[in-house]
Structure 1
Amino acid sequence: MTAPRPSAPAGAPAAVPPTGGRGPAAPADAPAPRRTGGGAETEPTVVRAPEPAPARGAATDDRTAAGASGPPGAAGSGRDGRAPAMAASRAATAPVLRVDLDAIRANWAQACRLGAPGRLSAVLKADAYGLGLAPVARALAEAGCAAFWVNDLDEAQRLLAVAPGAQAFCLMGLADATPAAFAALGAIPALVSLAEVEACARWAAAAGRPMRAALQLDTGLGRLGLSEAEAARLAAEPERLAGLELAALVSHLAAYNLPDDPGNAAQLALLERLACGLPRAVLSLSASSGLFLGPEWRQGLARVGSALFGTQTSVVRQPGLRPCYSLEAPVIAVAAHPAGRRLGYRGAGELSRPSRIATIAAGYADGLPQVYAEAGRPHVQGRRVAVVGGVAMNLTMLDVTDLPEAAARPGARAVLLDAAAPVEPVAEAMACAPNVLLTQVGAAVRKEYLGA
């Protein structure tokens, strides 16, 4: 169950209903079948976008202008290493994800209000859910966030470059890095096994100084972390933890989005019981949805991830959150087609009336799932339009018949995801969490930042 779908903008025409059946999926690059029988088709009138002029300024990318270092691309290049002129040219014919940093700051402030009296931290793993670790971390640090969770040492290095002095917890534990590397950077591994505990204790003994670490405990999710038996072993043999300064005892709710699931209370009780036998450290169990489970969950160190970006991940709507994303794509061609014309691979859509169809430069290679054709709520200049003929690799067609010609011509922008066309309905159709869609889109497309 997800949040209710918002109503269409005022004055928007109703979305064009699907017309014609959908056959089995065709290969992405298969040619569309020709219509047979019933006479020849009328050739469409097509208007195409002019060759794009170089953009006035390069978009802010989290690995270049936003301050992070390292590949992909050399300094001053596009995200894939293109020269600036090539990147600017592509910007006019490719989708862009606009990330509103002011919305992220506002969502952080809302989470802090809800999470009191507990402490809050920000989860920016997987490149801040695909939205760009460096600019998002900088914005949150400016808003007062002092503790972050990332995947590994590489992400911790990028984080600390823009938020020096912050706590940088690494959820994958040591992974393939050494305790010495974590200590040198000042990052905190959230250890996932007895072997990692022993490796850090050995390093602390050899270095002659303590090592800061968190300890992950498996209380029911079954992924990473020490089992109940392993935690009991540490409690019985405290010398195994010699030299470690525990910054947190961490676990993860399996039914985080279901407030009434009895497993939540059982996991909290188990974590508290295991903690009694271990060195004193703050407990970290609640994630974004945990802030809405009740006062007993607003303790310790909550980890806020999806709420920062305005996505709804609980069956209980989380109030006061602003979507921070806007996925836009340019119109590159507009064609007039007669009624009865079938469009898309295998004639996936049939037009019920004479129509103007805009082709936009966005598709599943940009993270847009094919189910978007049915579940998406795209709009052009605030007016709803319908997808026709499915979602291809780099192109999607929209029915813009009901829009003024000036509103949907080559060079215009279609909005595919934003506060009025949120990720939740599409994710529901995908049978996945909203973060899945947000992360895959963010990883695939160029990003620009507002409120930097």
Structure 2
Amino acid sequence: MFAQHGLTVTIQLSGVKHNYKVFRELCRDVEVAAVVKADAYGCGLSGILPTLWGLGCRTYFVAHLHEGILLRNRLNSAAVYVLNGLLPGSEAAYRKYNLRPVITSQQQLDDWCRYCRQQGWSGGAALHLDTGINRLGFRLDEVADIADLSARDLACFDLILSHFACADEPQNPRNTAQIDSFTWARRTLCKIPKASLASSAGCFLGPGAHFDMVRPGVGLFGGNPFTAPTHPFKAVAQAFAPLLQIKLHRAGEFVGYGSGTRLEKDTLVGTISVGYADGLPRAVSGLPLRVYFQGVPIRILGRISMDMTLVDLTSVGRLSPQIGDDVEIFGPHRDLNAFARSISTIPNEVLTALGKRASRRYVEDMATADAARNDARPEMFDFVSNDSAGLLEDASGTLVAPAGFGTVYPNPQFSLESSLNAARPEG
């Protein structure tokens, strides 16, 4: 295994397991689906799917049609909903890949029902109702007309859903208003079998918000969905970048683009292999942002460029930093959520901005991550998350890796039965 440029993102699969079980325990009487849009929130769809499938997750949500196709290429029998609606002329693709569009407007409703009638297709779809976020979806005053559709047209749908606007603030009265509106819509559209309102934060609003299915997203991957700092989730992702160069610069010299940072004293400057192409925003250049070397905070110098960032290593010179040593962007000394707060954003944005060129490596537990970064990787596998190949489910329900795809954690044959048994709590 050779050293690599760029960001290395280590994914703790035990964290995903813990977080899924948090939702399953919280929402005991309903189905717990998984939102895996944006390449499983930047954690790598191919690397995450075996764990979620092994936990018994059978329903998935993505944002785009091409994401649904990638997921279908990995799982034959999962129910896959595409959240961003039915674009004109895409009906046949949903049928070909057995995907379920989330219908958001009257035009989409007409197109989908007409296609299903003409083709005799009954693969399922969802209706998106706008209960207050005022984004995608049917207005509540359109629900009665939907209920008057023919039995044949209503049979095209197996789910109604909506989305909270303020679930990150549990005490916000808008949450109760949306629950009441969705409850009314659920009764009105009672011929459609299932209903779903809650995503990660909404799951914590009580059983009245759960309906038949919940669909957590960022919480599965360790992201805090609340405005308050406390949450029950375990960390899933850590990000490190290697040192490319170390140089002593003299007081009065300028560093970085625009010569915007003048050194006030002799400074040991390191260049790390991460930039805005890897999700470290250029806009935070000049802010008092810190990264970590062997647990010690070090400041960023100058402008963040596309592939590189300068850091002040003076305070850690006694630790003898070397080219190739890792610098922590977020991890054990400042987790994902704290890093997101430090750059005035949310963990969703941090994870999904990590970039496709980052190396994503998967460990069962973070206790093995240090050894993994030093090439002792007994429990690791590497995936290229945007590869056209992927995990496939064979006729016996086993996930297997096509030739050339890589090694599937923890072995080439992923037994669903053994994984489900392993995922069950002890006792």
Report the TM-score, using the length of structure 1 for normalisation: 0.74
Does the CA contact (< 8 Å) of 1:234 and 1:241 recur in 2? Answer: no
Alignment partners' CA distance in 1, 2:122 and 2:336: 44
1:433 to 346, 349, 355: 346
Q: Which residue of 302, 321, 330 corresponds with 1:408?
A: 321
Residue 260 of structure 1 pairs with residue 171 of structure 2: yes
Give 2:221's aligned residue.
Answer: 309
User: Does 2:192 match 1:280?
Assistant: yes
**Range moving further from structure 2, 264-273 or 136-145:** 136-145
Superposed CA RMSD in Å reads 2.4
Residue of structure 2 aligned with 1:249, choices 148, 160, 163: 160
Aligned with 1:238: secondary structure?
A: coil
Q: Identify the residue that residue 445 of structure 1 maps to in structure 2.
A: 358
| Counterpart-to-counterpart distance in 2, 1:318 and 1:302 | 21
Partner SS for 1:441: coil
Q: Provide the rounded CA distance (Å) in 1 between the counterparts of 2:175 and 2:227.
A: 14
Give yes or no for the alignment of 1:367 onto 2:249: no
Secondary structure of the structure 2 residue equivalent to 1:332: strand
Conserved? CA contact 1:211–1:243, under 8 Å: no
Q: Quick check: 1:289–1:314 contact (8 Å CA) kept in 2?
A: yes
Q: Do structure 1's residue 146 and structure 2's residue 58 form an aligned pair?
A: yes
In the alignment, the residues of structure 1 paired with residue 336 and residue 293 of structure 2 have an alpha-carbon distance, to the nearest angstrom, of: 17
Quickly say closer, same or farther: Cα 1:252–1:375, change in 2 above 3 A. farther
Give the equivalent residue in structure 1 for 2:374.
none
1:231 corresponds to which letter in structure 2? V
- Residues 209, 365 of structure 1: alpha-carbon distance in 2 compared, 3 angstrom cutoff: closer
Query: 2-side partners of 1:318 and 1:179: how far apart?
Result: 43
Report the Cα distance in structure 2 between the residues aligned to 1:313 and 1:388, rounded to whole angstroms: 31
What residue number does 1:37 align with?
Answer: none
CA distance in 2, matches of 1:292, 1:314: 10
Q: Percent identity?
A: 28
Partner AA of 1:142 in structure 2: G
Aligned ranges for residues 261-410 of structure 1 at < 5 Å? 261-278=172-189, 279-317=191-229, 319-370=231-282, 371=284, 374=287, 376-404=289-317, 407-410=320-323
2:85 corresponds in structure 1 to 173
Deviation at 1:342, TM superposition (A): 3.9
**Kept after mapping to 2: 8 A contact 1:149/1:170:** yes
Q: Which amino acid aligns with 2:216?
A: V
- Any conservation in 1 of the 2:95–2:121 contact (CA below 8 Å)? no
Q: Give yes or no for contact 2:330–2:339 (8 Å, CA) kept in 1.
A: no
Structure 1 CA distance for aligned equivalents of residues 155 and 85 of structure 2:
14
1 CA distance for matches of 2:285 and 2:48?
27
Residue 104 (structure 2) aligns with: 192
Structure number, greater radius of gyration: 1
1:308 offset after TM fit, Å? Answer: 1.0
Is 2:97 aligned against 1:97? Answer: no
CA contact (8 A) 2:274 2:307 kept: yes
1:444 Cα deviation (Å)? Answer: 5.2
Contact 2:113 2:156 in 1 (8 A): no
Does 1:225 pair with 2:134?
A: no
**How many residues end up aligned between the 2 structures?**
363
State the partner residue of 2:41. Answer: 129
Q: Which amino acid aligns with 2:168?
A: N
Which residue identity does 1:440 align to in structure 2? A
| Distance (whole Å) between structure 2 residues aligned to residue 116 and residue 318 of structure 1 | 22
Residue 449 of structure 1: how far off its partner (Å): 2.6
User: Separation in 2 of the partners of 1:375 and 1:274?
Assistant: 49
Instruction: Give 5+ residue unaligned stretches, structure 1.
Output: 1-54, 57-90
Segment drifting more, 170-179 vs 263-272: 170-179
Query: Which has the larger displacement, 326-335 or 427-436?
Result: 427-436
Question: TM-score, normalized by length of structure 2?
Answer: 0.78
The separation in 1 between residues aligned to 2:21 and 2:289, in whole angstroms, is 30
Moved more, 141-150 or 385-394: 385-394
After TM superposition, give the deviation of residue 204 of structure 1 in Å.
Answer: 2.5
Residue type matched to 1:386 in 2?
R
C-alpha displacement of 1:205: 2.1
